Amino acid sequence: MEWVITGQKVWTSLAHVADWCFVLARTQPGSRRSAGLSYLLVPMRQAGVTVRPIRQLTGTSEFNEVFFDGARTRAGLVVGEPGDGWRIARATLGVERGVATLGQQIGFRRELGQLAGEAQRTGAAADPLLRDKLARAWIGLEVMHAYALRPVTETGAEASVMKLLWSRWHQALGELSMEVLGAPSMVARGAPYDLGDWQRLYLFSRADTIYGGSDEIQRGIIADRVLGLPRPARP
């Protein structure tokens, strides 16, 4: 037996180089919302899968649009039980937004150190306002690290708080890098679109508050599961 998948997904990270992907598919006819979904492991290298790269502000295409047109995967390649996919997907997202960022923070710390060095090299560190922003970025990174080590409660909302912390921090670091570089940050190194590392950081970090669940979604989760605020009425 096999699962046969037809549908489309946009903003799929690294789909153009992936051999496999996870698909959250509706497998129970007549089910609604989060019920009746299954978490399937699907091979990408087959005739029923088409990947269309999306060109980004950076000029690269890490994100993609993926089309499934009768794509197939074996019946046994389901994570958990059929129909229980939403629970598995929430757990996956929780790891991406929360615990997994401990490794990501190593890269953040390296970027901050390099930016501080760049500020020293260019003389931007002589500006007290920029020095203050660099210090605040270091403090923010320490707060992020401490929070990532907290135990997870039953609500799982810690992952949403973590997502807000790291996405906004990294986006602010991209903005700060442009301030440190000054006017040269507005000019590409060469044709047609040869960007420097800090320019790419700035442009790519604009997506940090969107992918993995937008900041608006995370605030909604916190409001619902932690603060117990009433949900808005659905039309």
Structural domain of 6: 2-83
Give me the CATH number covering residue 158.
1.20.140.10
- Share of residues in the chain with pLDDT > 90 (%): 50
| pLDDT of amino acid 233 | 75
CA distance 86 to 27: 12
Cα–Cα distance between 208 and 168 in angstroms, integer?
A: 7
28-70 confidence digits (pLDDT tens): 888 888 889 999 999 999 999 999 999 887 788 888 999 999 9
Which residues are the active-site residues?
A: 96
Residue 90 lies in a domain: no
* Same-domain check for residues 57 and 119: no
**Is residue 232, in this structure, part of any structural domain at all?**
no
Residues 162 and 97 sit within 8 Å (Cβ to Cβ): yes
105/49 same-domain check: no
Backbone angles phi, psi at 149, to 5 degrees: -90, 0
Same domain as 77, residue 108: no
- Let me know whether 171 and 212 are in one domain: yes
pLDDT mean over 128-145: 95
User: How high is the pLDDT of residue 153?
Assistant: 59
First-residue to last-residue Cα distance in the chain: 40
Asked if residue 62 and residue 111 are part of one domain, the reply reads no
CATH number where 64 lies: 2.40.110.10
**What is the number of domains present in the chain?**
2
Cα gap 146→195, rounded to integer Å? 34
Q: Look at the pTM and tell me if it is higher than 0.95.
A: no
